[in-house]
Amino acid sequence: MIEKIKASTSEKIIFIFILILGLFSLTSFLLIKDRCLFVKNYDPEKIKFEDPSNIAILNVGCGNVIIELYPEISPNGVERFKTLIKSKSYDDVAFHRVIKDKLVQAGDLEFGKKGNIDYGKIGTGKSGLGSINSEIDKEFDFSKGSVGLARTQQYDTEDSQFFIILQDEPLYEGEFTPIGKVIYGIKVLEKIKYLDKSEYVLRPDFINSLRLFN
């Protein structure tokens, strides 16, 4: 005959504690795994813009990033950006250079496309439309969220690559061509994949789409 053994109070407490601990661990794991949790995804249709023709919607893993473009500050830079957006050239292009809390950079159309990434050359690719001149003479406050065109060490080498800064960078004024500023969704960019030991990201995140609002 099997005698039923009753759990003592202390055993019950330990059991409940282990159960709570297990639940807590599982919840934490799920929360940590979902990096987009607590990141607000803005719907541009629900926002009223002053000048909708100069709004670009960058869609990435965690949601939308809404960028206001400044053609009055850098007409050629914004025109190039819009041309490439209209041709959907930025879709599936990698955020190949990401520095935590500093900047994200994308737009290498030649070596940064999903399925065709060349890690040896990424960051050096071109659009095929040629370089444009730097537009750096007008005053611009490179505060967090500013969008600029990337270039080589030389001026007048801007093409398709762009960066968005995640902190204020006053020294960028006069160095880089500013084309706009993130007005909603900067937190989405803070979730872009980065590496601790390198600016260049292996198996990077990609732009889902980049479209003009109007």
Partner 1 sequence: MKLFKLILLCLFLFSNAYANTIYELIKIPHLEIYNIKTENKLRYLYAKQPFTIGVDNNINCFNSTKKDLEKKYLIIEKNLSRYPKDFLKKINLKYIVLCEDLSISGIGTAGIPDNVMKTLIVDIKFNKKYFERVLHHEVFHIINDSYREIFNEKIWSSFNPLGFNYAECSTCTKKIGLDTYLKTNGFITEYSRSTASEDMAEVFSHLMYGNLPEEIDPILKKKIEFIKRGISKIDKNFIL
Among 115, 120, 130, 170, binds partner 1 (CB under 8 A): 170
Among 172, 184, 194, 206, binds partner 1 (CB under 8 A): 172
Question: Which residues make Cβ contacts (< 8 Å) with residue 11, sequence separation at least 6?
Answer: none
Q: Report the residue number, 3 or 139, with the smaller CB distance to partner 1.
A: 139
Structure tokens that stand for 192 in this block: 């872009």
User: Is 159 a binder of partner 1 (CB under 8 A)?
Assistant: no
Binding segment for partner 1 (CB under 8 A), chosen from 1-9, 71-79, 171-179, 187-195, is 171-179
User: Is 174 a binder of partner 1 (CB under 8 A)?
Assistant: yes
- Residue 142 Cβ, how far from partner 1 at the closest point, in Å? 10
Q: Can you tell me the distance from the alpha carbon of 212 to that of 139, in angstroms, rounded to the nearest whole number? A: 25
How crowded is residue 171: how many other Cβ atoms within 10 Å of its Cβ?
A: 9
Instruction: Calculate the CA 30 to chain-centre distance.
Output: 23
- Residue 127 Cβ, how far from partner 1 at the closest point, in Å? 23
Contacts with partner 1 in 101-120 (CB under 8 A)? Answer: 102
Nearest Cα neighbor of 127 from 164, 155, 167, 85 is: 85
